[in-house]
Structure 1
């Protein structure tokens, strides 16, 4: 009887090892465990002009240190959508691609100020149209998922000005099909009629109260509309008194903490930690 119990126990252990582990010894869960990612001591930030097959945008890609090591770890993905001043067609003018590097996460990476708690892939597409088009953003996100080692449970999108509008529009159009786990639109706005599509996707918007380029009411009306449909997590908005259009520097670099309007949501966490605290419920294929 004891021998039968021992044999059954061995079979159970063998089954768990074969079904829960990959050929390389990493469990399926470990692929997506943030604490298993190698320390980012400085990675590679490379430009890809608008000539690559299957992608609607040229882009910059930041691959954190350790990304190319022989491991199966999957990385959180941050998509950054720039503003109207950084548009350009890098197929016709490859030098235009560097316009992406002037603001937000790409600028921080270039200046050595990029240090989120966990390593992230940062992908910054360049728009060459009059504005961000939702169908192109979706094709681009899916291209990046196929090309890079992306943790599909942790895909985030942020953008400033035109990019803030792009964030609201993209998630507002595709909702749960956008692949996005959380969104941070800065000095943007959107279609309040699309609020229902944010029901399961946390939003944290930022805006300067003295913005004469994009009225802060654009962000406020979107957050109010989203909260009116009682989302899974209440949408947040942080406003900076006496700040004009450039509310993104305060937000991306975290220097706006303690300078926000106390009547709205507190800037009490950097946006990267906030994004990484959200995980999308998706089924990952073996």
Structure 2
């Protein structure tokens, strides 16, 4: 009888361990646990031409960051069409990127992810986000800051969401990013196979007349048809137009999403940090 109890316990533990191994959300976060707590860092303006970066940009560094710091995760934010500007001619134009997203949260002192991250927010001078330029910008940040290259993430709104998709659609597994969060955007549905090693969580309002909701839905369907290592997700807000950005970035949209799609059940930043190369 005693042997049967031990045998039963053995198989129970074996089953538990196997179950945990199959959970895609269980990752080693020791590298994050060892980072100093961010008590409030600094967001610095770098106008176009003041650095070797292809874009003028803001860079946020956590409170204890310095040249001897450990490597931090990097989050790139790509803005929408209304925030385009040339800060080389007018430094104040760079403040346009404060309209929404990470620069806005940081400026309002509402940026408080579970683990500290460096945030880079570039500004377009014209046109759309070019995949090669985004790639080169990320390389510039890697070369000039202490970056954990296994933990690089992209998010963007509207034109910036298209930029996220455009970047992965071109670079695929060779991109620097391990996860992206495009909000109210779309992409090339013929490029689903480029996303097999990149996690995707898209957001959209179902009453968006600027960018049809189908753009996100079709993109996620195309990605999942290619059997990615992490299934792409899409969260839809009922009755919401093109303004699906703030509620996603600050988390206030949790609980307001449609039950027909993926639940908005955790901060997008915490979700990003579940993924690493």
Q: Same fold (TM over 0.5)?
A: yes
Superposed, which structure 2 residues align to 1:167-182 within 5 Å? 167-182=164-179
Partner of 1:35: 33
Counterpart secondary structure, 2:94 = helix
Give the corresponding residue for 1:46: 44
> Does 2:258 match 1:261?
yes
Deviation at 1:129, TM superposition (A): 2.0
Give TM-score scaled by structure 1 length.
0.85
Match of 2:104 in 1: 107
For residue 59 of structure 1, what is the aligned residue in structure 2? Answer: 57
Q: Deviations over 1:209-238 (max 9, x none)?
A: 000100000000000000011110110000
Partner residue in 2 for 1:165: 162
Matched, 1:125 2:118: no
Number of the residue aligned with 2:5: none
What is the CA–CA distance in structure 2 between the aligned matches of 1:86 and 1:135, rounded to whole Å? 20
Q: Which of these residues, 85, 88, 91, is aligned with residue 91 of structure 1? A: 88
Cα RMSD, aligned residues only: 1.4
Q: Secondary structure at the match of 2:199?
A: coil
Question: What pairs with 1:116-155 in structure 2 (closer than 5 Å)?
Answer: 116-155=113-152
Q: Deviations over 1:34-73 (max 9, x none)?
A: 11111111001110011035321000000010002x7441
Structure 2 gaps of 5+ residues are 1-29
1:6-21 superposed matches below 5 A = none
Equivalent of residue 212 in structure 2, options 210, 215, 231: 215
CA distance in 1, matches of 2:145, 2:118: 9
Alignment deviations for residues 166-199 of structure 1 (CA, whole Å, 9 cap, x no partner): 0000011101111101000000000011111101
For residues 263 and 183 of structure 2, the distance between their equivalents in structure 1, rounded to whole angstroms, comes to 15
224, 247, 250: which one aligns with 2:247:
250
DSSP 3-state at the match of 1:33: helix
CA–CA separation in structure 1 for the residues paired with 2:44 and 2:68: 21
Deviations 1:84-125 (A, max 9, x none): 000001111211000011201110100010000000000000
* TM-score, with structure 2 as normaliser: 0.88
Q: Does 1:78 align with 2:69?
A: no
The secondary structure found in structure 1 opposite 2:203 is strand
* 1:237 counterpart residue number: 234
Q: Distance in 1 between matches of 2:237 and 2:204?
A: 6
